[in-house]
Amino acid sequence: MMKLKKIDGPQKAAIFLMAMGDEFTRNVFKGLTEYEIKLLGKRLASLEDATIPVDVVQTVMDEYATLSSQVSGVTGKGMNYLKDALVSALGADKAKPILESISMATDTTAFSSLKGVDPLILVDYLKGEHPQTVALVLAHLDYAKAAQIIKELPEKLQPEIIFRMANLGMVPAGVIEDLDQVLRKEIEAMGSTDSKKLGGVETVAEIMNQMDHNTENNIFSFLEEMDADLAEGIRQKMFVFEDIVGIDSRGIQTILKEITNEELALALKTASENLKSLILKNMSSRASEMLLDDMEAMGPVKLSDVESAQQSIVRVVRKLEAGGKIVIGGKGGEDVLV
C-alpha cells in the first residue's frame, strides 16, 4: 500500500498526470526539459501495475478538490502509457533515447546498468579483472557489445575469455549477486538473477559472428592450441556470409527482400563464384544486371567495409531464421531440408 509520506515530488507529479489524462499529460511534456521528462518518466514507469489509493490521489490533487472527489483510484499505466505520451509530445525520434534511458533505469536484471555504459569504459574496467569474472559479465551482455569489448581487450586475453565463456555452464545465483554488488558500486549496476545457464558454445559462436576477421582469426589460432575440439565446436555453430550457399532458392529470395542492392554489391566483392551465381540466379534479369553494373562501377573498396556489409546481411539471415522464415542448412545450422 502506497503511503503519502513515502512519495517524493516527481511521484506526486506522476500520479497527478495519470489522474488528469492523456491529453493533459502530452501538453505538460511539451513544456518540460529533457531532464525533467526523464525524472518524471522514471516515476511513471515505477508505478506500472500499481493501484494508487484514493486518499493519496485526493491529497496530491488538493488544489483540484472538485475533480479529485470524483476519482476512485488510479491504476498505474507504466511504460506503455509513458511511451504513448512521449511519442505524442516529442515525436518518435526524440522520445526513443529518453525511453531507452528510463527502461535501463528500471531494469532489475543482473548487470543491467552495463547496457548503457560505453564499451571502452567497460574495457578499461574489465581488463584488470580475472578472466573468469570478465567471462561472467560478458555473458550477460548482448552479442554485439560483448564482441566489441573482446576486440578491445589484450589479444592474449581474448581466446581465454572465449574459452571460459564457452565453459561457464550453470552459475550459482550467489556468485552473480556478489559480483553484481561490487559492480553496482563501481558502475551503478543494480538487481540480481537466479542461477541460469550462461555462456556456452552457442553464445560464443553468436559473439564471434559479430567480430572482424582479424580478431576472429587471432582468437581461433590461440583457442585451437588450448582446446582444438572446442574451437571446432564453435566454428560449427558459427554462420558466416559464405554459408548462404546452403540456403534454398526460396530462402535466398526472402533474404533479398530484406537487404539493399548497395549492401549486396559491397558484400559480394569477396564472395565465391558459387555464392555470386546463387544470388544472381534468384534475381530477375533486370535486377541481376543492375547488381553487376553496381559492382563494376563500385571500383576498389575497403575490406573492412565489405566485411561490415557481410556481417549486416548475416544478421538479417539469422533474424529471418529465428522468425522461421528461412532454413539454414550445412555449416552454422542444424536444420537441413530433405
Q: How far apart are CA 238 and CA 137, in angstroms?
A: 22
Return phi, psi of residue 311, to 5°. -65, -35
pLDDT digits (tens, 9 = 90+) for 125-172: 788 788 888 888 888 777 888 898 899 898 888 999 999 888 887 777
CA distances from 124 to 116, 144, 161, 173, 304 (A): 15, 18, 15, 26, 25
pLDDT digits (tens, 9 = 90+) for 270-280: 999 999 999 99
What confidence score (pLDDT) does residue 279 get? 93
Cell of 116: 548503457
- Do the two domains 112-237 and 241-322 of this chain adopt the same fold? yes
Q: How far apart are CA 162 and CA 3, in angstroms?
A: 49
pLDDT digits (tens, 9 = 90+) for 55-78: 676 676 654 443 333 433 444 445
Q: How far apart are CA 43 and CA 207, in angstroms?
A: 35
Q: How far apart are CA 108 and CA 226, in angstroms?
A: 37
CATH of range 241-322; options 1.10.220.30, 2.60.40.420, 1.20.1440.60, 3.40.50.10860: 1.10.220.30
Cell of 134: 570478465
Which CATH code fits 112-237? 1.10.220.30
pLDDT digits (tens, 9 = 90+) for 100-130: 555 544 444 555 556 666 677 778 778 878 8
Task: Tell me 74's DSSP state.
Answer: E
CA distances from 63 to 23, 57, 58, 68 (A): 20, 11, 9, 9
Task: Tell me 156's DSSP state.
Answer: T
Let me know how many helices (H) and strands (E) the chain has, helices first. 20, 4
Q: How far apart are CA 193 and CA 110, in angstroms?
A: 6
Domain boundaries, the chain: 4-105, 112-237, 241-322
What confidence score (pLDDT) does residue 184 get? 65
Instruction: Measure the CA dihedral 90/92/94/96, to 10°.
Output: 130
